[in-house]
Structures are given as C-alpha cells and as structure tokens.
Amino acid sequence: AETVVDGVNLVEQEELSVVQLPTAKTAFEKLQSDRKTLPVYPYREELLRAINDHQILIIVGETGSGKTTQIPQYLHEAGYTSRGRKIGCTQPRRVAAMSIAARVSQEMGVKLGHEVGYSIRFEDYGMLLREFLGEPDLASYSVLMVDEAHERTLSTDILFGLVKDIARFRPDLKLLISSATLDAEKFSDYFDSAPIFKIPGRRFPVEIHYTKAPEADYLDAAIVTALQIHVTHPPGDGDILIFLTGQEEIEIAEETLKHKTRGLGSKIAELIICPIYANLPTELQGKIFEPTPEGARKVVLATNIAETSLTIDGIKYVIDPGFVKMKSYNPRTGMESLLVTPISKASANQRAGRSGRTGPGKCFRLYTAYNYYNDLDDNTVPEIQRTNMANVVLSLKSLGINDLLNFDFMDPPPSEALLKALELLYALSALNKQGELTKVGRRMAEFPLDPMLSKMIVASEKYQCSDEAISIAAMLSIGNSIFYRPKDKQVHADNARSNFHMGNVGDHLALLKVYNSWKDTNFSTQWCYENYIQVRSMKRARDIRGQLEGLLERVEIEKTSNPNDLDAIKKAITSGFFPHSAKLQKNGSYRTVKHPQTVQIHPSSGLAQVLIPRWVVYHELVLTSKEYMRQVTQIKPEWLVEIAPHYYQLKDVEDHLVSKN
Ligand code: ADP
Ligand code: MG
C-alpha cells in the first residue's frame, strides 16, 4: 500500500526551487498562519477526537469558520488518507466545489487534481450520487463530509438517506454532516441522535436597515444603495456584497455600475466590480477573493452562492433585495419553473451575517420590516418538496431501492410527485408494471440527464442516429446560452441564427446543425463570433458530448450516424419526448395532448417565426408571461401511436387524421 504524499513538504520544495525564494516562502507561510486564525483551529484536536469516537457527527459553525477548507485537511493530517483511502466532501454547488478545491490545494501546496481534486457533473446533479452507482458501499472513502447540509438541495437530501444506510454496514466509515445554521437537532434526530459539535463563531453586531416602503425596482435600488455607501464612506471602511438572483441581473448591475461610476469620474474612489455566479468562467472566479487594493473598494455581485457556500473576506456592507431564483414544481401538470421568489427569514439572516465577519457590519434590506416579519417564511422549503423526482427515482431504482414510499427521507417529497415520476418512468419503459427497472431503464440510468433525454439517446440505437442524439442532448443540456444577441446587433444575430433553422427543421435539429457546423470548422472560435454563438457554451457542449460518448460505449450502444434521415432523428427525439406533445388549436395556440393545458411556442423558437406546425414535441415548458414550449420540433401524429402505443391511443391523434382527409 502506498501512502499519500505529504502535500505540505512537496510544495515547499517545489516553490523553493522554482519561484523567488523569499516571497514564495512568505506567501505559503502566510497561508499557513492564516489557517491558524480560523475559528475552527482551536478545536482541531477536540474535533479529531470526536470524529474518532463517533461514527456520525453533526458539525455546526458559522460560515467562514473553516469547516469546508480545514476539516478535510485535519483529517488528512491525522492519517485518514493513508492506504490510498479518500476523504470526500460534497458541495451542493459546482462553483463552490471548484473554488474550494483550488483553495485547499493551495493551502496544502499541491497541484489541483493530484492530492486534492474535485468532480462536477454537467448538470446540477449530485456527482457523489452517481458514484454510488459504481461503488455502492463507497469502499474507497474513509470519511464522507456532507457539507452545506442546511441547504437541503435534492442531492443532499438523497445522500442523507443513502449514507445513513451505508453507515450501518460500514462501521469504519466516518460520516460528517456539516452545516451553517442552528437547526442541528433535526439533523441529529435523523441520524440516530448523532452528537453535535459546535464551533463557536466570531460574530460582530450587524445593524439592519429596512426600506420605509416597498421598492418598485430592487435592482435599481440595490445599485443606488451601493453607490450611496461608496460615496459616503471611505473605501478602506469595507467592501460591499449585493445578493442578486442570476447571471442576467448581475450583468445588468455590472454595466449600470460601470456606467455610473464612469460618470462620477475621479471624484470618487475606485470601485472594483466582482461578479460571481454558477456559469462564470473559472478564470474569472478567483477575482472575488483577491484582496482589495488600498484606496479602492470592492463590490461583489453574487447569487445565493455567497450566502453560505463561499466566504469573501472584508465585506462590511450587505445589500439584500430579498429575492432568490428558486425552482418549483407542479406535480399535476408536471411543470417545473424557475421563478424569482422572496427569500425566507433564515436566508435573510444568513445574508445579513455576511457583513459581520471581520467587524461590525451593516445590512440594507430592500424591503420593509413589516414585509420581513409578516410575509417571509421562516425557512426555505427543501428542494425535494418542490422538484421533479423522475431523475432521482431512476437513480434510486438503479441502486436497488425499490420501495420509495418508505425510503428514509428527512422530509419526504409529496407522494404525488413520486407517483408522477413513477408514471413517467413507466411511460418511458424504464420501469415495468411492477415498478422494477427494465433493461431500457438500466441503460438510461447510466446517463446523468433528465430521463427523457436519456430515453432519447437509448432509443437512438434503433434509429441508427446515436451520434446525432448525443449532440442534441449535449446542446440541450447547456440551456439557453448558445445564441448570443447583443443589443446593437440584433438583426445580424437573428439573421445568423435563422441560417440554422433553414428548412424549418425545428429547434432540436437546428441545435444539431450548430454543433456540426462548429465541428466542421474544427471548433473555430472565429466561426462562433461570426455566427453570434457563445463559444464558451459550445465548449461546454463539446465536453458534455464527450462524456456522453463514453457512456454510449458503456451501455454498449454503437455510435452510428444518420445525418440525412431527419425523420429518424425526429423519431428518436419523440421516443424520449412523446409525453411532451402538443397540438395546434384553431386560435393559434397549442394544447398539450396528455394533460391538456394551453401553451404557446416560445418566441425564441425558430419554428415560431416561419411555420405553424400542427403537431409538435417540446423539450420543456417555461412560465413567463404565458406558458411557453421551449425547443420545439414538428412531428407526425401517427409517430406518437407508433412509438408509444401504451401511452397514446388512436383517438388521441385522430382528429388530425380526420381533418386531413
Ligand atoms: P466554512 O466552510 O466554515 O464556511 P471555509 O472553510 O469555506 O469556511 O472558509 C474559511 C476561510 O477560508 C474563509 O474565511 C476565507 O478567508 C478563506 N477562503 C475560503 N475559500 C477561499 C478561496 N477560494 N480563496 C481565498 N480564501 C478562501
Ligand atoms: Mg463551507
């Protein structure tokens, strides 16, 4: 058995020989001495003892106390990585996983990807959850730390159930559940009364300010507040953190702030604007952690990621508009939506707390005190109770967990959502009538995708177009950031885009065409610029496609290409998306076939501009001003009966047949 190289020694040697001697050493030494100033440090021995004495430990400590970056290092130093074993630490957010892994490798003085690494999926879908498929007892791990447990994401909640079970037959596995809030009793109760280890935090008083009246435009109010702070307080006083709901809002705020500070010229101190959100390119993510230069002030524009996952030093002012983008799911219609929603009181308090870490802070809530006390919920509803469960049910079934109604959930999902998921998986032939996984289902479970996409890929074998199916799936996984439409060049952008829709092929085939055209240019960046395509998104699609290609091999689906038979490709799409069919109405809107509701083709669809198809399948429904179908492809109604005879009967598609004759 080999031992893991001691990271610290390794780095010192590396740095001494490569970089200028004195500075390199000081930087590294500073990192080491900084580690010792974190609130968790005085509890190092006590914590290691508690972990040694108990199999499961709940660890609670303020954000920034050093739980995530330090505890895995303590465990490593204490020998938990000997004999090639691993320490796992799960993060609900991709960006946090990357940034924390980078930080820990820096502190240990090792190259990222060697002693310290991270794995992320291309979907926000628990990576560890997928590792279970290959290693159900997590044999290679000595410790598993389920971090940010209070966030109660879907993956975290499922992990709870799985690791609790594993702990029973792997007495040597240590389980740490770490969290920032104080509701530790609930976690302890769930984990068979596991002891709670509290890391006393430092917390300075935070002054809370509310607005006197509700704000009509919180984005504008946030910007005005930030500028007010900036001009009325000296920059050395502290940095500003603004919580916004997503990339789009952050980009608008960034532009507006730049514009306004330019207007003020040299009358004010420099304001350094640092955005942080999930899709921010990795090379830009580090900027938020760079120390603010003397005489300047940093303003961080962040999504909820800065609420607890990432700690940014030096924040004195928090601006909290009180909103978050949150997923919700309606099991009756099967519709999932991402809506800007008011935060909970717990969230508001976490946000305020970000300002009081290094000294007394101030939090500006852009809502009224009345609002806070009377309208906000106490806690955020766990994701498991507001999401589509199809994906999770398929994963659990493939882990051999059949009785989902009796799965040990900390808070169970609504039974309606479970039933809906089972129904869908049965319709996709992933489960049989007894609810057992079929061969199709087993293959589908290998793909870390929505079950409908997985089904499309598995079905593409029959239509000899697996090559096209994985390209389409990869492009759909990117979301809506493929096409780029700058305000001053909208006409050019739309023209470029319409080229891909030539022949009214539908959105799926247009995406395929984008991918293949890019590939034909040997992945040229210039080509992307010329066609108003986001090169970053395309690179991600290429990575995802690569992973899917590997998975095809794993489930033994031959890679075959059938580029000219568009109907074959559309039939593969329909094999996955037949539950999402809709039919044109006399008034020009559409009606979904199975659970009838009125929907429209999204204006961004290529089909919306040119042709009005009678029958379509769509990728997803989104609710904005209306209920829109996004990513739409025209189909022939008889395909529905041909492909899914157990789901559609002739009468479902017959009025079309009648009216045609
Ligand atoms: P916790 O998990 O308890 O919230 P962390 O371990 O994430 O705390 O953070 C501890 C400290 O490490 C933070 O206060 C911050 O100073 C520092 N830190 C964490 N991540 C980074 C990073 N990527 N870059 C620079 N400093 C970081
Ligand atoms: Mg943490």
Q: Which residues surround ligand 2, an ion (CB under 5 A)?
A: 67-68
What DSSP character marks residue 652? H
CA of 68 to the centre of ligand 1 (A): 7
CA 506 – CA 501 distance, rounded (Å):
7
Triad 579, 585, 587: Cα angle to 5° = 145
Residue numbers of the chain with a pLDDT score lower than 70: 1-25, 121-130, 133, 182, 609-611, 655-661
3-state secondary structure of 26: helix
Write the residue with the smallest CA distance to atom 21 of ligand 1.
103
Using the atom order of ligand 1, give the atom closest to the CA of residue 310.
Answer: 7
How many CB atoms sit inside 10 A of residue 648's CB? 22
Ligand nearest to the CA of 151: 2
Ligand nearest to the CA of 37: 1
Strands 581-584 and 590-592: antiparallel
Q: What is the DSSP string of 519-535?
A: HHTTS-HHHHHHTTB-H
Amino acid (one-letter) located at 615:
W
For the stretch 553-597, pLDDT in tens is 999 999 999 999 999 999 999 999 999 999 999 888 999 998 889
CA of 310 to the centre of ligand 2 (A): 7
Q: What are phi and psi of 539, to 5 degrees?
A: -65, -40
How many CB atoms sit inside 10 A of residue 311's CB? 17
Write the residue with the smallest CA distance to atom 18 of ligand 1.
311
Ligand nearest to the CA of 358: 1
Q: How far apart are the first and last CA of the chain?
A: 76
Strands 196-199 and 627-634: unpaired
CA of 22 to the centre of ligand 1 (A): 25
CA 277 – CA 281 distance, rounded (Å):
9
CA of 149 to the centre of ligand 2 (A): 10
CA 380 – CA 150 distance, rounded (Å):
10
CA of 67 to the centre of ligand 2 (A): 6
Q: Which residues pair with 179 in a beta bridge?
A: 60
Strands 196-199 and 86-90: unpaired
How many CB atoms sit inside 10 A of residue 79's CB? 13
CA 159 – CA 142 distance, rounded (Å):
16
CA of 66 to the centre of ligand 1 (A): 6
Residue ranges around ligand 1 (CB below 6 Å) = 38, 61, 63-70, 99-100, 103, 289, 311, 313
What are the residues whose beta carbons fall under 8 Å from the beta carbon of 655, sequence distance 6 or more?
A: none
Q: Please tell me the predicted confidence (pLDDT) of residue 27.
A: 83
Ligand nearest to the CA of 59: 1
CA 640 – CA 575 distance, rounded (Å):
8
Write the residue with the smallest CA distance to atom 14 of ligand 1.
64
Q: Which residues pair with 146 in a beta bridge?
A: 90, 177
Q: Please tell me the predicted confidence (pLDDT) of residue 619.
A: 94
CA dist 113 → 11, 106, 136, 382, 437 (Å): 14, 11, 24, 32, 36
Ligand nearest to the CA of 90: 2
Q: What is the DSSP string of 143-166?
A: EEEE-SGGG--HHHHHHHHHHHHH
Write the residue with the smallest CA distance to atom 13 of ligand 1.
64
CA of 543 to the centre of ligand 1 (A): 29
Q: Which residues pair with 630 in a beta bridge?
A: 620
Q: Please tell me the predicted confidence (pLDDT) of residue 654.
A: 73
CA of 309 to the centre of ligand 2 (A): 5
Write the residue with the smallest CA distance to atom 24 of ligand 1.
289
CA 554 – CA 269 distance, rounded (Å):
57
3-state secondary structure of 3: coil
Q: Which residues pair with 298 in a beta bridge?
A: 272
What are the residues whose beta carbons fall under 8 Å from the beta carbon of 153, sequence distance 6 or more?
A: 92, 126, 383
Write the residue with the smallest CA distance to atom 15 of ligand 1.
311
CA 618 – CA 560 distance, rounded (Å):
24
Take residue 344 and report the two structure tokens written for it.
Answer: 């909970």
Q: Which residues pair with 591 in a beta bridge?
A: 583, 598
Using the atom order of ligand 1, give the atom closest to the CA of residue 62.
Answer: 3
For the stretch 148-172, pLDDT in tens is 998 898 888 998 999 999 999 999 9
Nearest to 159 by CA among 385, 407, 449: 407
CA dist 240 → 237, 302, 352, 369, 577 (Å): 10, 11, 12, 22, 46
Write the residue with the smallest CA distance to atom 16 of ligand 1.
313
Take residue 374 and report the two structure tokens written for it.
Answer: 């009377």
Residue pair 179/308 in contact (Cβ under 8 Å)? The answer is no
Using the atom order of ligand 1, give the atom closest to the CA of residue 103.
Answer: 23
pTM (two decimals) = 0.81
CA of 148 to the centre of ligand 1 (A): 13
CA 388 – CA 383 distance, rounded (Å):
10
